[in-house]
Amino acid sequence: MNVSVDGGEEVVVLDAVRLSLWSVIEQGIVFVTVETEADALDFYSFSDRRVRQLGTLPFRISRVAGYGELAVSRDGRLALLNANDNLSVEIMVADRFR
């Protein structure tokens, strides 16, 4: 959301940005976009208020909210993204446990 320093109505800046998959840097906001062919890193510029794609990722982001996170250096030169490609749960039962 964007609100003028003088107050006023809130304005949506980016729609459908995923939880934990965005980072604010000096020049704008870097975020992950989920696309049909490949997930991508996109950039929203504070100066011209436009979105442009930085590149596609060589892997898919987890579709489970909260299992991927994005961190970007303040200058925007480095990005770190963790993603789990294997989510599994095991339940063990101890029968006649003493």
Sequence length of the chain is: 98
Residue 28 β-bridge partners: 45
pLDDT, tens digit (0-9, with 9 covering 90-100), for 56-94: 998 888 766 666 788 999 888 899 887 666 666 677 777
For residues 8 and 45, what is the distance between their CA atoms, to the nearest angstrom? 22
Q: Quick check: 34 pLDDT over 70?
A: yes
What is the DSSP pairing of strand 51-56 with strand 40-45?
antiparallel
CB 38 within 8 A of CB 63: no
Q: Identify the residue with better confidence: 97 or 94.
A: 94
Stated pTM of the model: 0.75
Separate counts of helices (H) and strands (E) for the chain: 0, 6
